[in-house]
Amino acid sequence: MTLPTTDTTVTYPDGATTSAGTVLHVEALPGGRSAVLLDTTAFHPVDTAWPDQPADRGTLTTPSTGTQAVVEAVTGGIADGRLLLGADLPVRTGTDGWVFVVAHILEGDVPTVGEEARIDVDPDLRRELSAGHTACHLAALALDAALAPAWTKEPPVDALGNPAFDALAIQRSRIEPLGSIDTYRIGKSLRRKGFSPDGLADLAAVADAVNARLAQWLDGGGAVSVERSDSALSARRTWVCELDDGRTDIPCGGTHVRDLAEIGAITCSLTRSQVDGGVEVVMRTVVTPA
């Protein structure tokens, strides 16, 4: 069977939760599963290298198999005539020389190449993940602002001109329905860049500053969008939010609300723990829908 020679066209960055496409390839997997590749999909897969937003939940419908649950959706890469999925994919999405695809994992009946395939994503879960992802980015910017006084050198800055603590210290980011959990490492390399850990001595005060900033931003409102040069899975995408403080942008492969008016409140809390080689700070962000 021939593998696709171009990336999957993805419509979820614009907010789509349904799509109509064509089955391009079906690959048998161990355990009675199969990976189905379509030309176009609204199904957000989990990214391999930076798995922040989990996959959507939803179904795939074809004339021959009817409606089936998509049990998993992962990013696949094609090179040298081979399809590598999820954890087996050794490169970041966008690496030259690879074709990147959304792999819809099914159990049971297998659709036929060339069939029409409809995707229906659970819109409620998507909405909650989108709100969690937008809040995650806003909280990161608010944390950068709150920690700005803790820098003694001039490190790279974020879109609002504050030292980019989030970008420099982030270890792990997980988007949840209506929230996120971000893990930061404060070790030698961050201190060498000029960050003074004293800035995190009073975590409750930092959280208060973050939450005050978030409330102010939500008060001011603003449109949210994902900008991209084209609709290929590996195209570079940027989260853009029109805040009172300015236009922010963050590279992002996920989904988002369309306007801050969809979010009622965002509340962050911070905790600290000692780990090998430094301190880990975890920011837990919770969204109250509007």
Give contact residues for Zn ion (rule: CB under 5 A).
252, 254
Nearer to Zn ion, 89 or 252 (CB): 252
Tokens of 276: 């090998």
* Bridge partner list, 259: 223
Q: Please, what is the minimum distance in Å from the beta carbon of residue 226 to Zn ion?
A: 9
Nearer to Zn ion, 7 or 166 (CB): 166
Nearer to Zn ion, 151 or 239 (CB): 239
Q: Please, what is the minimum distance in Å from the beta carbon of residue 254 to Zn ion?
A: 5
Distance CA 254, CA 237 (A): 9
What angle, rounded to 10 degrees, do the helices at 123-147 and 203-220 form? Answer: 120
Nearer to Zn ion, 3 or 125 (CB): 125
* Closest-CA residue to 187 (of 168, 202, 173): 168
Task: Name, in order, each residue with C-beta under 8 angstroms of 194's C-beta and a sequence gap of 6 or more.
Answer: 151, 152, 153, 154, 155, 163
Tokens of 60: 């795939």
Q: Which residue is listed with tokens 């593998």? A: 3
| Nearest residue to Zn ion, by Cβ distance, number only | 252
Q: Please, what is the minimum distance in Å from the beta carbon of residue 15 to Zn ion?
A: 15
Nearer to Zn ion, 83 or 250 (CB): 250
Nearer to Zn ion, 135 or 146 (CB): 135
- On the CB side of 133, how many CA atoms lie within 13 Å of its CA? 30
Could you tell me if 12 and 20 are in contact, meaning their C-beta atoms sit under 8 angstroms apart? Answer: no
Q: Please, what is the minimum distance in Å from the beta carbon of residue 71 to Zn ion?
A: 24
Task: Name, in order, each residue with C-beta under 8 angstroms of 31's C-beta and a sequence gap of 6 or more.
Answer: none
Q: Please, what is the minimum distance in Å from the beta carbon of residue 252 to Zn ion?
A: 3
Q: Please, what is the minimum distance in Å from the beta carbon of residue 224 to Zn ion?
A: 11
* Closest-CA residue to 241 (of 269, 260, 219): 260
